[in-house]
Each structure stands twice: as structure tokens, then as C-alpha cells.
A and B are shown apart, each in its own frame.
With several copies, the nearest count.
Chain A
């Protein structure tokens, strides 16, 4: 669909699109939905070969040295295809490791993330809370971590997890090695293709990432990047709905000619364009190195809404075809919910936004 959103150098995003289109088909995506904790390992291998994990990481650690904006283009491509790869995670965590004041001991891991030799999940939520908990559920002492976190995307396959833990009475961010003393549990989820698993740590080795006020930033940048993935998905829904509405007839004309369908499509378009505006606004702030919590929360809330809404209404446009397993829209319907809950739901971020705005107004 048309939009005047400015594009960074798009070559790489188009290449990702091409590879995904030639590699991934509907049947493969459907198979991933069938069993808990699924991950498209062959596609990941290909992604690693092509250097995607290091896309927006510095060349000095083996990345491709591209910008955040390039990552947003790729995130839209992934979202459009409902492909799940831990690229946003690699970038956000990789950059975090490099920015840490104990950079030297973490750098090797950042390099592994850039090369794709290792992947990472962001596991900041706990069971029973829809947002970032008030206190970490994990305890870190003497370099090892214990406790349990809620299902995180890529938790079932990643070598590392970014977690929040209590350390000597303070909350810290830490990078946990999942190869030992960590148990992954993959429940049957409405979207099994996120390689999600909850993680139990029984003394798993962990390194503190010094400079721990980074928590807010990590989460804020992650939700902004995810917003682009959501916008990609929502746009795919709008395109699928349009194609169906042009092709299928009722009462002697394409259903796309009926006002009810037109107004629904306009409402989807409106939701997407508001989300795109909010996401681009946040991206500019990231580029200027001053991402505000309001901008991040607005990107999150509007993207959650746009993708949920686009998926549900695109199904509605499809009528009976929309509710079959063979049809593709349920992939988006599921994915919209996954992405909306993984990094804190709208309930959480709306609260963060309102409190921030009110506090600002008071000052």
C-alpha cells in the first residue's frame, strides 16, 4: 500500500525479502505452528550465512555496520512474511554489550551475536505480570543465576538470555549462558513459531552488564524495532484483504466495492499509518540518541493496535476463507498477539505512557 515513509538504503531489505520468498512457503510456516517452541533452523542458517544477525552491528565486531533504520526495513520484511528470526534481539543486545562499561569481558559474546554463531533471547518478563515486574524474579550471585522467567521468544533455541536479576540488593541486567544449568520449557502456544520457552535457572553462568540503567533503553528500543515488524505484518494483512476484496464477488460486484468493506479497509489503513508515524518518530529519536519513553510507548501501543486490528478485520473481509487452517490470515492473527504480549502488553505500556505524561505535566 502507498505511503510516503522515507526509506533507508533498501537493497538489503529487498535481498532479505527475496531470500525469504524463495526459501519459505506457507506449508513450512504452517508446520512451525504445529508444535511448541518451533524455530526455522534452516532459514536461520541461511540468515547467518548472509550476515543478517550482524546487520546493524558495527563492523569492528564483524557486523555489517548498517543503521537502526536498515534494521527497521528488515523487521518490516520479517513481519510481512511472519518469519521469526532473532535479529532485533542480536542487534539490541549486541549493542548493549558493546556499550557496557565492562565491555571487554562481554565483547566476545557480542562478536558471537554479530556472526550468528550464537543467538540471544530477551527474557525480562515473569509469569503473572503483563509488564516489566517491579522487582526482578531472578537472583544473581557469584556469577550464577537462579529463578524462573516467563516464556520469551527464541528462549527455546538461543544460547544466551538477557535477563534482569537482583544482585547485592540491586537490579542488574545480565547475560546468561543457557547451555548449562538452565531448563527450557516450551508450552503449546497460540503461535508456536516464535521458538518461545520459559526458562528456569539453577545456577546458570551469568555476566553482569555494568551500567544497568540500560534496562529502560533495551526495552524501549526493542519495542520500537518490534513496532516495525508489527507494521510489516499489518501491511501484509491489508494487502491480503485488498486482494481478496478485489477478486471475490457478492451480489454482482467485487466485495471491495461495498462501503462496509471500504470503510473497514480505510480504518485498517488509518491504524497502520498512525502506527507508522509513531514508529518513525521514535526511530528519529533513536537516531538522535535520545529515545523518550513517550515516543517508544506510543510506537508500541499504536503498533499493537494496528496489527491486532488489521489481522482480525482482514479475516473478517475473507469471511469463511479467513477461518480455515489453509488460509494464511491466522498466521498474522496469532503473530499479532505474540508480538503484542512478548515485550509487555498495551496495558503495561499505556500505564507507562500516562504516568510519564502526567509527571511531565506536573513538573
Chain B
């Protein structure tokens, strides 16, 4: 870390100290209240140049480096701010729009609105038959004069129910290989023919949606990238976030505290064989990831790219939370089953499946690591070299 960044961190910290408290989440807030707060927080950040740190100044960003964004995020995480609502909007959807959109005027109009939290963007990729296999998208976009007409269904769209705009991957040519017949658009979510139906997670969270398209008409000017070149744009969207600051870790301190107080058949839980291994394993894993993280930040700071080993964080995270949550519940006995928010272990356990699935299942990610990092060959796939409509 150089002096300029240290200086920046001090500024961020001081600014957050005075500005964060007013926007912090309080116990018992509804989702609607949190979203309102999140919008307010975006506006406060935007005024101070912290809302979209890496995006160009002309579109409302701060035009600073990835590293500045990391520094700010690290400091921001020290406060209980409503961060999750605008992550996809600002880290994936908007940057893709700004990168590919044809109208400079529209970029100057929509950019700042999204950054200030007046607008929220969603990202519509997954479908019922296109989860792990993104290129299997079926939602049709057919050319009609200068317009495209969209029909079909998207699935697992975060925050579609409150989104103003969205980016979407569609099938524009079913007669060619599956990843060669896709096109990418942005669309106003209020366009007639779009219907959003919420999906409730089993944790009770209400971020996910199905989105139905029934003859939704959009102009060709809303295309992002080439016709049938949408797959590469989608990959670009997914790769946008080069480095994610994450605070999802197994709560080691709480586990140790629990182990010191809980009893198992009258004996101290600290004698339990499972807890000792879990404490050791959790510390070791977090220690390893901490160093990988520091090296990534260092690499970015040196103007390079983080090493590929950062990919293992996501692989370890879900399993680690699951294991630690389950074990802590085992030490708590019947009380471990309480679902209130102060039973952090049951929450970890309940959320762990999402971490193992969202953003690519662990299984898909393991393939990716093996192929991209270790250089192993792709496996034989029946869809290779076939037109999309031959596979249906």
C-alpha cells in the first residue's frame, strides 16, 4: 500500500464515521425500509464521490482505481449499511451498459441516476433450462422492423421487482451453435409485457424473481454488442467484478466463545473433538485466505492482476459456513434450533446452501478451476458442434 492509498483510507474512514450512522440498518426494518435506506445511502455516497468509485466521472462515477474501491469497501463493511441491494446494479449491469451502449446521451442520463440510487438495474441471465449452462438461454428476441420482440422467461433475477432497468441475454438465432446465437439488450422494466413474480427463498429472503416476457417490444438501439455476439457481452458482465471484497466468514470468535460456555452432557464443549478441529480448520482456512487476499490487493496496487488462487475462496466459503454452523448448533443442543437473528450459527447454516449454489455451483466452479487454472481439458459434451435447436 502506498501513501496515497493510506491517505485515502483515512479520508474514507473519517467520512464514514460521520455519514454512515444515519444510513445504518436497524433491527426489525422491513425490506422496503431497507431499500429506501439503500437508495438514500447511494445518494449520500454519490455526493461525496464514493458511490461508483471506478466508473467514469462523466457518467457519475469517481473515476478512481479498483484499489480505491477495495479500500472504501473494506471500510464501508465496518458499518452495518444496506449494501446488498445495489451490488449487481452498479458492479455488473451498469458497467456493461456504459461499456456497450451506443447513445452517449443516454449514458449521461442513466449513469448518474443508477449511481445515485434513483434507478436500480437488474441482470436477467438464468432461465429454467439455463442455470449452470448459461449458453442454453431460450428467451427469444425476434427482429421486427427496427425493433426486437422478446418472448420467454427468466429466473433467479435479483431485485427485478424493484428494478427500473435491466440487462438481458436472449436467443436471436437458434440454428447455430448455442453460444453463437445469443444477443444482449438493456430494457426498461416498465415496458408493457414484462411481468415480475417474486420467488421466496426458504430463508424468507425475497430478493429473487421470475420475469416473464410476453411480446415485449424494444428498439434495436437498446442492443449491447453485436447481433449474436451476446455471449461475450455476458461473460464481460460476469467478469466485471475483478475482485470482490467479501465479509462472509465462519464466525471464529463466536465459535470459540460458544466452546468456552456450552456443555455437552455436563462436560465443557471445549473437550469436544469436533469443535477443536473446527476451530483449528477455520483459523487455518481464514489465515490462508487472508494472505491470498492481501496478495491480491498488493497485485492490484502494483498495477497487476490478482492471481487465480482467489477463486478458491468461494469454494471454501459455503462448505466452511455449513460445517461451522452445523457444529455450533450441535454444541448448543435444542437452543441451536432457534431461528431468531441472534442465533448466528443457525443463520449461517441456513444460508450456506445459497453460497454453494449462487453465482455458479461449487461443482461448476471446480470444473472452471481445473480447466482455467490447472489447464485440464474440457470434458466431452453432447452439445458440442450442434445447433441450439437440434438440442431441444
Contact = CB atoms under 8 A, between A and B. Distances in A.
A275 interface: yes
Contacts of B384: 252
Contact of B366 (A255, A260, A295, A298): A260
Interface stretch (B9-17, B54-62, B187-195, B373-381): B373-381
A150 interface: yes
Contacts of B292: 273, 277
Interface string A256-287: 11111111011101100111111011000000
A251 B383 contact: yes
B201 interface: yes
Contacts of A130: 262-265, 269, 330-333, 336
Contact of B257 (A238, A338, A342, A361): A361
Given A150-B335, A251-B381, A350-B273, A323 B263 contact: no
Contact of A150 (B307, B333, B373): B333
B350 interface: yes
Interface residues of B, number: 105
A342 B334 contact: yes
Interface string B262-300: 111111011111111101100111011111100110110
B161 to A, nearest CB: 15
A319 B265 CA distance: 38
A205 B116 CA distance: 65
Contacts of A319: 131-132, 357, 361
A130 to B, nearest CB: 4
Nearest to B261: A128
Interface string A321-363: 0111111001001000110111011111011111001100110
A352 B367 CA distance: 36
Contacts of A134: 265-267
Contacts of A2: 307-309, 373
A319 B361 CA distance: 7
B370 A262 contact: yes
Interface string A211-251: 00000000000000000000000000010001001101111
24 contacts: A2-B309, A4-B299, A128-B263, A129-B333, A130-B333, A131-B266, A150-B335, A190-B346, A248-B129, A249-B129, A250-B132, A252-B391, A253-B381, A259-B363, A260-B366, A269-B309, A278-B291, A280-B295, A281-B288, A320-B156, A326-B199, A341-B329, A346-B330, A354-B276
Interface of B: 126, 129, 131-133, 136, 155-156, 199-204, 208, 252-253, 256-257, 259-267, 269-277, 279-280, 283-285, 287-292, 295-296, 298-299, 306-309, 312, 315-316, 322, 326-327, 329-340, 346, 349-350, 352-354, 356-358, 361-363, 366-367, 369-371, 373-384, 386, 391
Given A273-B312, A347-B264, 20 more contacts: A4-B295, A128-B263, A129-B263, A130-B331, A131-B264, A131-B266, A131-B333, A249-B133, A252-B383, A263-B367, A266-B370, A278-B284, A280-B295, A281-B291, A294-B287, A302-B288, A320-B126, A327-B202, A350-B273, A351-B276
Interface of A: 1-6, 125, 127-135, 150-152, 187-191, 196, 198, 238, 242, 245-246, 248-263, 265-267, 269-270, 273-278, 280-281, 294-295, 298, 301-302, 308, 312, 315-316, 319-320, 322-327, 330, 333, 337-338, 340-342, 344-348, 350-354, 357-358, 361-362
